[in-house]
A and B are shown apart, each in its own frame.
Chain A
Amino acid sequence: MTSQYLTETRVSQPPTLAKRSGESTTVPENVLDIAGLTVDIATPRGTLHVVRDVSLHVKRGETLCIVGESGCGKSMTSLAIMGLLPKSAKRSSARFEFLGEELSQASKSHVNDLRGNKMAMIFQEPMTALNPAYTIGEQLTEHYRHHLKASESDARARAVSLLEKVGIASAAQRLGQYPHQLSGGLRQRVMIAMSLMCDPELLIADEPSTALDVTIQAQILRLLADLQKELGIAMVLITHDLGVVARIADRVAVMYAGQIVEQGSAAEIFSTPQHPYTRGLISCIPIPGRTIPGGKLGTIPGVVPSLLGDMTGCAFRDRCASALTACPGSIPVHQTSQGHQWRCVLEPTEVAAT
């Protein structure tokens, strides 16, 4: 695997805005385009910096996987995008464009109109995501009727067609059933159908298969991939499982301690990961086709740093095998012409991950 780094541009500046090299901002291509997203949460012990200067973009028909361990801020990022942060959280961004429209100063009612309508989200735990007091049909149709001012019968018809599309048999009967009458896998399919009701441009899925049986996991992921291909939706999939990423991602963003430490196409990330954390992650898990049978799996020693108070320099330096004296200082953002970015003081390397 030859590297393409002959034409790299090394950008030595403090990590604020990530510039996209050469690309003119063709707005319609990017469904979501965020730069400098920061989320702070006020707690009695100080300010928690859960999301720090996150920049990402997703195109139509593209799957971006945000991957990282728990507590890295990936869920918070998705909640920030959807506008579902808790009251104690403060969000700020240099750029927050959705379908070409700048949303960082948008009114709550405008964001409400978009939510569930043009941008939808499904969550990790299907067993508790549905209101036990109402039927499936009611919960499928209520936001469709609200956002699109549709009639009851239109909404029900659409609900039935979507239930069938997600692979639920006897869809019409299901409308009258209650959540407790469905299994976890079925409920998650219902959640997927629910998210698609208003024909969204962006779908955010936060660990959609984690809480399900292993056999059902694969089904749900395949379902998501098929639906995306068919409907051309932009999808952001959040996971801690690199196996999922390998299966479904077009592009990958690796998050650590609130920051995106590396971002690029799936091929790039897996073949030539640049950030020590990414390398560590890849070496930790067996990936079919890459890991040498009989070889050793790596571990990343240490624990995630605290997100309280001032955070300068590289958050990974205490656990990094290649840490240098420059690491506590400001960290440059590297970028290639293909859009592969990472934050590190180290020189880019051509050594592939093991």
Chain B
Amino acid sequence: MIAYLVKRLGLAVLVALTVSVIAYLLLYLSGDPALAIAGEGARQADIDLIRKTYGFDRPLIVQYGDWLLKLLRGDLGVSMYFKTDVAPLIFSKLSTTLLLALYALTVALVISVPLGVLAAIYKNSWIDRLCLAVAVVGQSMPNFFFALILIMLFSISWRLLPVSGSGTWQHFVMPAITLGYYAAPAFMRLIRAGMIEVLSADYIRTARAKGLPTHTVIFKHALRNAIVPVVALAAVQLGFLLGGSIVIETIFALDGLGYLAYQSITFKDYPVTQIIVLLLSVIYIFLTLASDIANAWLDPRIRVA
């Protein structure tokens, strides 16, 4: 298990470094980063000032190395638009986004586990097809459209939930449902497939032969084995949820990392954008690493090798 850990960790670090290079080079997509930050129609003096401040006149390697070293020391720079240090700015928003992602993941699992188990038990019956239909519909609707509909229903018509902001838990309900519903189908299919495979296994027959009640057979014996790939997917989906929360956060003005990213792009505060890209990637890398480890631990064949 230790050897496995070390190998995975090494790979994770390598990937993170590569992403950091890409994140840094993003600025050069427009040709001249100083111009991109200053915006069209800026004065030449401003552009030159920006170039000097960020050191864009230095060789690329030096720029990148300096940036990376500063990052590792915890110096994330200063936001041009918000006029504060980037580090506290980002980390104050991060908790909001993480919370949203976890809520959304919960919604996704609450929807997908029962549907997936049902679909597997009643495989190829109308129940199965109904569950699949619910799943496909969930993936077909653009999430921002779904969000707008939810707003119409819950905020405008029924006045149950607030439209925007991030003060209370009620502010998280609609965003979580929107995000979670979109992630649910992938889980549902995985659980269904996993359960179908597991339900035909010999040890399920043994469990039934022992006269155990049906719910014990399904949840204790079958689901426990079918859930293993779901853990891996959960980590991956959490990463996607974090990255894909931009649109949702923006619609609901939920003050998280996604909204901050959107603002930084709109207001040309690209250095902040870079850091958010890198941060989200690192979180994703860490999550997949954690899920691989959890997977290995969940399988006693690997844990007690």
Contact = CB atoms under 8 A, between A and B. Distances in A.
- Whether chain A touches chain B in the assembled complex (some CB pair under 8 Å): yes
Interface of A: 82, 84, 112-117, 120-121, 123, 125, 128-134, 142-143, 146-147, 178, 180-181, 191, 194
Nearest to A142: B212
B215 to A, nearest CB: 12
A114 B203 CA distance: 19
A120 B224 CA distance: 24
Contact of B301 (A116, A125, A132, A142): A132
B208 interface: yes
Contacts of B208: 84, 115
B211 A147 contact: yes
Nearest to A138: B220
Interface string B212-237: 11001000010011000000000000
Contacts of B304: 178, 181
B211 A123 contact: no
A82 B208 CA distance: 10
Given A131-B225, A133-B298, 15 more contacts: A112-B211, A113-B211, A114-B211, A115-B208, A116-B210, A123-B209, A129-B206, A131-B207, A133-B299, A142-B210, A142-B216, A143-B212, A178-B301, A178-B304, A180-B301
A218 B213 CA distance: 35
B135 to A, nearest CB: 24
B203 A116 contact: no
Closest 3 CB pairs of A and B: A116-B211, A116-B210, A115-B211
B211 A180 contact: no
A82 B301 CA distance: 31
A128 B202 contact: yes
26 contacts: A84-B205, A84-B208, A112-B211, A116-B209, A116-B211, A116-B212, A117-B211, A120-B209, A120-B210, A123-B209, A128-B201, A129-B206, A131-B203, A131-B221, A131-B225, A132-B225, A132-B300, A133-B224, A133-B299, A142-B210, A142-B212, A143-B211, A146-B211, A147-B211, A180-B301, A194-B210
Contacts of A194: 206, 210
- Chain B's interface: helix, strand, loop or mixed, by majority? helix
B52 to A, nearest CB: 61
Contacts of B221: 131
B13 to A, nearest CB: 32
Nearest to B204: A131
A123 B298 CA distance: 27
Contacts of A121: 209
A178 B299 CA distance: 11
A133 B220 CA distance: 10
Interface residues of B, number: 21
A113 B210 CA distance: 9
Contact of A146 (B209, B212, B225): B212
A147 B213 CA distance: 10
Interface of B: 201-203, 205-213, 216, 221, 224-225, 298-301, 304
Contacts of B216: 142, 146
Contacts of B224: 131, 133-134
Contacts of A178: 300-301, 304
B123 to A, nearest CB: 10
Contacts of B299: 132-133
A115 B210 contact: yes
Contacts of B206: 123, 129-131, 191, 194
Contacts of B207: 131
A123 B202 contact: yes
A114 B208 CA distance: 12
Most B C-beta atoms less than 10 A away, residue of A117, A142, A194: A142
B249 to A, nearest CB: 38
A75 to B, nearest CB: 11
Contacts of B212: 116, 142-143, 146
Given A123-B205, A132-B301, A143 B210 contact: yes
A16 to B, nearest CB: 30
B305 to A, nearest CB: 9
Nearest to A126: B202
A134 B304 CA distance: 12
Contacts of A134: 224
A117 B301 CA distance: 30
A134 B206 CA distance: 13
A143 B203 CA distance: 14
A84 B202 CA distance: 12
Contacts of B211: 112-117, 143, 146-147
A179 B22 CA distance: 47
A318 B203 CA distance: 39
Contacts of B209: 82, 84, 115-116, 120-121, 123
Contact of A112 (B202, B205, B213, B225): B213
Contacts of B301: 132, 178, 180
B296 to A, nearest CB: 14
B28 to A, nearest CB: 50
B137 to A, nearest CB: 28
Contacts of A82: 209
A84 B212 CA distance: 12
A132 B211 CA distance: 19
Contacts of B210: 115-116, 120, 142-143, 194
A113 B225 CA distance: 25
A147 B211 CA distance: 8
A146 B208 CA distance: 13
Contacts of A123: 202, 205-206, 209
A117 B210 CA distance: 7
B203 A128 contact: yes
A115 B206 CA distance: 11
A233 to B, nearest CB: 16
Contacts of B202: 123, 125, 128-129
A134 B201 CA distance: 15
A36 B206 CA distance: 27
